[in-house]
Amino acid sequence: SVQSLFEEQCTVLDLVVYENTLRTDFELPRFDVLTFSSPLNAQAYFAKKTWQGEHVVAIGNTTAQALADLGIMGVVVAKAPSEEALAAAVLLAIG
Q: What is the pLDDT of residue 15?
A: 66
Task: Name the stretches of the chain with pLDDT < 50.
Answer: none
pLDDT tens string 39-59:
999 998 998 899 999 999 999
- For the entire predicted model, the pTM comes to 0.75
Rounded-to-integer distance, Cα 58 and Cα 7, Å: 40
Q: What is the pLDDT of residue 42?
A: 94
Q: Specify the DSSP element, H or E, that contains 36.
A: strand 33-36
Please report, as a single letter, which amino acid is at residue 95: G
Q: What is the pLDDT of residue 59?
A: 94
